[in-house]
Amino acid sequence: MSKTPSEHDLAAELERFVKEQAARFGDVISYVPAKAPVSEAPAAAAGPQPSIAIGLLEEKLQVHRNEPWYTAKTLEELESKINQCQKCRLGETRTKFVFGVGNPNAKVMVIGEAPGADEDKQGEPFVGRAGQLLNKMLAAVEFKREEVYIANILKSRPPNNRDPKPDEVEACEPYLWKQISIVKPKIILCLGRIAGTNLLKMNESLGRMRGQVFDFCGISVIVTYHPAALLRNPDWKHGAWEDLKKMRRMYEEL
């Protein structure tokens, strides 16, 4: 199968990166701390997760204490309690509920926007072309797909891949918060503006969010390009590469 130009670029970057591995990350990566963190979260990237952080997430979830899924202890239990959800209109049009996939103890959680056509068919996030690129992006900084946990802001596909509507996000995001509270990642990587603005509840451009370390309930969050955007705009890949290296560096410093 022939590769698209963008896949070639990333493969070349990956090859170069692997060659440079001998020098280890400290030499390879020029990690520059965030210029102006919107929210100071120094402790989240280093050392054990403070209990106060999980407390903040539990507080957000408290509002939903009467929901049947609220007490779920595992991802499997949570999925079984929410996968028939009809809280928004997308319940009527989806093929499969796309819960999330990966390591239930992941230190890194990757959050995208919403399932696309392939994900809707297969019931797993990031399995289409953007997913293939995501796997390569992760591999380029030495993460296997199975090592991280991958989920989306929405669990059901919006028709024609339109942007999520605010009421759909409102209905679905508590499920993501619950996933986060079960997995307890140390780092969240948001893919694209929609994932970043909805998780962080801020109305910013991707350009202004990139390069900063944000805080979500004590968890460090960085925002980078969505892989689908990189497939359309290969010139942005250099920036994505910098973001991924930064994430790896944060992970190394945990």
User: Which residues contribute to the site for ligand URA (CB under 6 A)?
Assistant: 112-116, 119, 125-126, 130-131, 152, 228
- Helices (H) then strands (E): counts for the chain: 12, 6
Q: How many beta carbons lie within 10 A of that of residue 250, not counting itself? A: 22
Please tell me the distance from the alpha carbon of residue 182 to that of residue 152, in angstroms, as a whole number: 15
* 92 in Cβ contact with 206 (< 8 Å): no
Please tell me the distance from the alpha carbon of residue 190 to that of residue 198, in angstroms, as a whole number: 10
* 208 in Cβ contact with 183 (< 8 Å): no
- Comparison of 122 and 181: residue with beta carbon closer to ligand URA: 122
Q: Least separation, in Å, of the C-beta of 238 and ligand URA? A: 21
Residue showing the smallest CB distance to ligand URA in the complex: 112
Q: Least separation, in Å, of the C-beta of 130 and ligand URA? A: 5
- Comparison of 100 and 185: residue with beta carbon closer to ligand URA: 100
- Comparison of 126 and 251: residue with beta carbon closer to ligand URA: 126
Dihedral, CA of residue 33, residue 198, residue 237 and residue 14, to nearest 10: 80
Burial class (CB in 10 A: 0-12, 13-18, 19+), 220: buried
* CB crowding 134-156: b at 16 or more within 10 Å, else e: bbbbbbbbebebeebbbbbbbbb
- Comparison of 150 and 217: residue with beta carbon closer to ligand URA: 150
Contacts of 216 (CB under 8 A, 6+ apart): 180, 188, 199, 200
- Comparison of 23 and 117: residue with beta carbon closer to ligand URA: 117
List the one residue out of 123, 148, 120, 121 whose CA is nearest residue 134.
Answer: 148
Please report which helix (H) or strand (E) contains residue 150, including its range. strand 149-152
Q: Least separation, in Å, of the C-beta of 126 and ligand URA? A: 4
- Comparison of 49 and 83: residue with beta carbon closer to ligand URA: 83
- Comparison of 67 and 79: residue with beta carbon closer to ligand URA: 79
